[in-house]
Amino acid sequence: MSLWENIISSFQTIISNKMRSGLTILGIVIGVSAVVFLVSFGKGHQQNITEIFESMGANAIYITGTSMSQGMTGGTGSLTIEDAEALLDPNRAPSVEAVAPMIEKMAKASYGTEDTTTDVIGVTPDILKMTSYPIEKGVFISDEDVSRRSNVAVLGSQTKDELFGAEEALGEYIRVAGKKFEVVGVLEKKGGMMGTADDYVMIPLTTMQSKISTQTSARGRPVQTIAVKAVNPDEINEATEQIKTILRQRHHIREGDDDDFTVVDMQEILQSMEEALGIFSVFLGSVGAISLVVGGIGIMNIMLVSVTERTREIGIRMAVGARRRDILRQFLVESAMLSLAGGIIGLLFALIGTRLVSGIDLGGYAVKAPVSMDIVVIALIVAVGIGLISGSYPAFRAAKLDPIESLRHE
């Protein structure tokens, strides 16, 4: 009996016992659909995280000061604008391309009867060299705004919606921490984790220092964070070392003493996040794999019952010339066909599920669940493999039956 004949015979057996076959492959259906859906969902989540971090600058390095450092009163860090200016020295930091100091503070923003508590960020135009802040309407903060300490503001899309709704915001005046600001720009919606990526108001850094933030420092004009852009991704490590050397010298930190600042590059954070999400995806896949194991046990159980039911048939086949390997192959093909059928049905359910959840807004970003061909192929191979493994014992048991005893079986 050829392999093709085995496949036809197995298909006929499955069709003739629709209810039993359906219940047998149920575990495989659930397992394959769960594995493909969960792994695809995890992969989509990883893509979202990667896009968010890449939008913050692939070459970006962020420096933050330690809390309550000496020489600073009413502040939260040890960094100053003078530190940022020192990092732009091409002789001391040749791997640094641009620097953008920042200050952040939660404050109340209001327009008419509407108000909201939002993140107020004091920035310079150089922040655009680090991260993507596409303007939807109006303009961004200019160098002239910074030099003049102008009372101008650029709104994130969420803050704009909370204050103005469908009304036009450009040219209107809002109050931020009790001070009056003219809205000169509105940024495009970015979306992101927890819905906070668009909830902010940007104002000139100098305006923030003089009119909202009361930080003072013996070292100079204090800032909370300094964003630095490396010349290219390959020089991020060099730029980091140059930054540390300059800041340690400026802050008079002795050899062996701890830094009073922290330097973190986006690539390092992204790599850590991708490793964590990779583990998360494996965990999700293992949850579905449990159903596959249960499905394999179900196939083994039903194949053992089938061997018992078809003992006389096996004896007749052996009596007319069938070899033990023919019997072995017949039952292995049958178990593999059962598992493959379950895998295909499970894959169809997974494809439907991923289509249904894709695009749903979850925490401020659209859900992605891409089903790649490698996931499909691996899921089907694993399903067939489980079928073969589960059917091995029943197949060997059928092949070892004694022909004479099998013919006597009722």
Express each pLDDT in 277-322 by its tens digit.
777 777 777 777 787 787 888 888 887 877 777 777 777 777 777 7
Instruction: Write down the pLDDT at residue 192.
Output: 54
Q: How far is CA 262 from CA 74, 186, 237, 256, 307, in A?
A: 20, 32, 14, 16, 68
Q: Determine the Cα–Cα distance for residues 348 and 36; give it in Å rounded to an integer.
A: 10
23 vs 179, residue with greater confidence:
179
* Cβ proximity of 363 and 193 under 8 Å: yes
Give 105's contacts (C-beta < 8 A, 6+ positions apart). Answer: 119, 120, 177, 208, 212, 213
Q: DSSP per residue over 184-207, as a string? A: EEEEPP---GGG-TT-EEEEEHHH
Reported as half-sphere exposure (CB side, CA atoms, 13 A), residue 222 has a value of 25
Express each pLDDT in 90-137 by its tens digit.
899 999 999 999 999 999 999 989 999 999 999 999 998 887 778 999
Express each pLDDT in 360-406 by its tens digit.
766 556 777 788 888 888 888 888 888 888 888 877 777 777 666 65
CA-nearest of 39, 200, 188, 173 to 117 is 200
Q: Determine the Cα–Cα distance for residues 308 and 315; give it in Å rounded to an integer.
A: 12
Q: Determine the Cα–Cα distance for residues 319 and 299; give it in Å rounded to an integer.
A: 28
190 vs 185, residue with greater confidence:
185
Quickly state the pLDDT bin for 68 (edges 50, 70, 90).
Answer: very low
Average pLDDT over residues 66-80: 52
Average pLDDT over residues 10-30: 76
Q: Which of 174-178, 327-331, 363-367 has the lowest mean pLDDT?
A: 363-367
How would you label 337-347 residue by residue, b for 16+ Cβ within 10 Å and e otherwise?
A: bbbbbbbbbbb
35 vs 11, residue with greater confidence:
35
Instruction: Write down the pLDDT at residue 60.
Output: 83
Q: Determine the Cα–Cα distance for residues 295 and 23; give it in Å rounded to an integer.
A: 10
328 vs 201, residue with greater confidence:
201
Q: Which of 66-70, 138-142, 302-306 has the lowest mean pLDDT?
A: 66-70
Identify each DSSP E strand in 50-166 by its residue range.
Answer: 60-65, 72-73, 79-80, 96-111, 114-123, 135-138, 152-155
* Strand pairing category for 173-176 and 96-111: antiparallel
Instruction: Write down the pLDDT at residue 75.
Output: 41
Instruction: Write down the pLDDT at residue 196.
Output: 52
Q: What is the residue extent of each domain of the chain? A: 3-53+271-408, 67-259
Q: Determine the Cα–Cα distance for residues 374 and 398; give it in Å rounded to an integer.
A: 35
- Is the pLDDT at 151 greater than 90, yes or no? yes
Q: Determine the Cα–Cα distance for residues 137 and 122; give it in Å rounded to an integer.
A: 20
Give the residue carrying structure tokens 């994130």.
Answer: 156
Q: What radius of gyration do the chain's Cα atoms show?
A: 33
